[in-house]
Chains A and B, each alone.
Chain A
Amino acid sequence: MTVAPAPVKERIRRVPEVLTPDRLRTIVAFVAAIAVFGIGEILHPGFGSAESVKAILLTASFVGFVAAGQTFVVLVGGIDLSVPWVLNAGAILVVTTSLGQDGRASWAVLLTLAMGLGFGLVNGLAVAFLAVPAVVITLAMGGVAQGLTLGLSQGLTCSSCASYAPPVIRHAVTGEALGIPGGLFLWLGIALLMTFVLGYTTFGRRVYAIGNNAEASFLAGVNVRLVTVVLYMLSGMFAAFAGITLAAYGGQASLGMGDPYLFQSIAAVVIGGVSILGGRGNYLGSTAGSITLVALVTLLLAENMPDWGRDVVYGGVILAILLLYGREKTAV
């Protein structure tokens, strides 16, 4: 009678080595993305064409940039609600400081990224050192970013607000090499970097350790506060970076351009299988989530879905995935 369990145990041990639940979720997210393209091609021939896929991927890359930062903070059980206005501030700051001149571009980009890091620093310090709930402080800093953006740009009526993004930045995002837009190379680079940092560095291990059990990782010698602050700073920086690329893509900055990216970045992270309770998931999943979400919304727009429908779809997708993946284990 005691002999029977042995083979079962062996089988359980062998399967997860290849297909851990985390990897499975990432694969599912990519399959979902491909499925959306497949369905799109059937409903609208040409939806899956190279040109269309290229355009959708480029749009998804902006979500992917914001989602990179969001992935970091979600992995330690946090959330960043300040991204829409940090992004918007970034887009406006880069055009107003560069004034469309290539010579000023590098300084403008550095200044904008520093601005994002600054907002993230305040978020991170409050979360790590004062135990302020992430929702509260990031919402507050989002408000500060919004007010400062509106006030300093005089509601985007300032003389330099109509400036275009410098050609060199625009070329880096929209210019094509080997038929692929520069924005996608940027995204590929960030995806590789994120995967390397999270999967193969001490820093990455510490992120997962904190997400699984902050107290245990503190006792194991991880500087929990420092890592947390760095993660929120990176989230702010990625939001500002997305702002730069969006200004480059559209040519100019506008008010409210960051608004969709709160829901999109969180939906992308959730679809990608990153556990909202922290400690599980990876950036590849979030990239797949970004692609799935943008492809789905593009398809629905092609199906003549009105604007308001997009908001409902974002909410519905987040809820559906949460019900699949995000349920807390403890029975209430």
Chain B
Amino acid sequence: MQQAPLLLSFAILAGTFGVYAGLFVSNQHHFLTPFEGQSIVNTAVPLVFAAVGQTVVVLTRGLDLSVGGVMALTNTIVASNMHSSTGSMVAWSLIGLAIGAGAGLVNGCLIAFGRLQPILVTLATLSIYSGLAIKVLPEPGGSIPIEYTKFMANVNGPWGLIYVAGLLLVWFVFRRTPFGVAVYAIGNDQAAARASGIKVRLVKVGAYVFAGTLFSAGALFFSATTLGGDATAFDPFILTSIAAVVLGGISFFGGRGSAVGAVAGAFALTLVTPLLFQANVNQLYTDAFQGLFLVLAVVLAGLVGRLVSART
């Protein structure tokens, strides 16, 4: 019963994939090739990272709307500085991750030590980080060395899945660390967590730093596949990362859910665009369908919640 939301998220993913594959086969008269697999995986990976980061803060009963700004800042700084030497690629990747960690540190400190509402703090920092990203790169541009793209996103197959597997490994380790346990404890009952000796404020800051680092990791992969920088390309991640968390069955009241569900949710949302393409729907409607997906998911979750609570 506790696994029900997780099973639901996989059912949504399977259903979405089924519809997509069905449309694809009826249109193209052959099954998906490695090219489609690689393209879907490469599009999904940045969202997978963003969704897992969002999961961590949602588990603490928080929310991070600054995800779009953090990713934009990472992308623009890396795209305007990285060169094709190995040293430069390693250094700027690490700097990129540090940008996310730093941005998360600012969010976390304002929320935990400033005692402010996560929604408003991250809305404000979203504005600040996005503004800084525009300062770094006023027009889409910059460049990412082709070697970096080859290393991060192999064009011959869905190698991006290795990053997803690595991320899931990090997640399973995280859940078993005292930090991970504390994140769940705070989400379930902050007062009880404090009473049992958990340093609530530090754990909250840690959660935002962890989330920010994951956002930047997603932005690095995004930079590698798009070959450049664009300060305005990341706004959709605010909606989609939260939608993936909802589809993944993670409770917005904290303490319940697994990043595995969010990963499934991220893939389901990524399939919306190719699905619409196969269904011959104008791509301009993508936001509407992703939003509708989210509306249906929360409405379903709400109805299921009412049924369950009515029975007990």
Interface set of A (CB-CB < 8 Å, partner B): 79, 122, 126, 129-133, 135-137, 139-148, 150-151, 154-155, 262-263, 266, 270, 276-277, 306-312, 314-316, 318-319, 322-323, 326-328, 330-332
Contact = CB atoms under 8 A, between A and B. Distances in A.
Interface in B264-305: 282, 284-292, 294-295, 298-299, 301-303, 305
B224 interface: no
A308 B288 contact: no
B291 A146 contact: yes
A149 B145 CA distance: 37
Interface in B59-118: 63, 65, 110, 112, 114-117
A161 to B, nearest CB: 13
Interface in B111-133: 112, 114-117, 119-121, 123-128, 130-132
13 contacts: A126-B299, A129-B302, A130-B302, A132-B299, A141-B295, A142-B239, A143-B288, A150-B287, A263-B123, A307-B138, A322-B124, A327-B114, A330-B115
Contact of A312 (B117, B127, B138, B252): B127
Given A140-B243, A140-B295, A270-B120, A332 B305 contact: no
Nearest to B292: A144
B306 interface: yes
Given A143-B290, A150-B284, A311 B115 contact: no
Nearest to B129: A315
A315 B131 contact: yes
B295 A319 contact: no
Q: Which 5 A-B pairs have the closest CB atoms?
A: A147-B288, A143-B291, A130-B302, A311-B131, A147-B287
B135 interface: yes
Given A130-B302, A130-B303, A314-B127, A323 B287 contact: no
A332 B115 contact: yes
Given A130-B299, A318-B127, A327-B114, A136 B291 contact: no
Contacts of A129: 302
A288 B287 CA distance: 35
A330 B200 CA distance: 13
A146 to B, nearest CB: 4
A320 to B, nearest CB: 9
B63 A135 contact: yes
B243 to A, nearest CB: 7
Nearest to A125: B299
A136 B123 contact: no
A139 to B, nearest CB: 6
B246 interface: yes
A315 B125 contact: yes
The prevalent SS among residues of A at the interface is helix
Contact of B119 (A135, A143, A155): A135
Given A126-B299, A332-B200, A322 B114 contact: yes
B134 interface: yes
Interface string B197-217: 000110000000000000000
B253 to A, nearest CB: 8
A232 B112 CA distance: 29
B242 interface: yes
Contacts of B117: 276-277, 322, 326, 328
Given A146-B291, A147-B288, A322-B116, A139 B124 contact: no
A147 B282 CA distance: 10
B302 A132 contact: yes
A304 to B, nearest CB: 14
Nearest to B296: A140
B138 A308 contact: yes
B284 A155 contact: yes
A126 B242 CA distance: 16
Nearest to B112: A332
Contact of A319 (B110, B135, B302, B305): B110
Contacts of A145: 291
Contacts of B298: 126, 130, 132, 136-137, 140
**Of listed A263, A318, A332, residue having the most chain B CB within 10 A:** A332
A132 B284 CA distance: 27
Nearest to B190: A332
B171 to A, nearest CB: 22
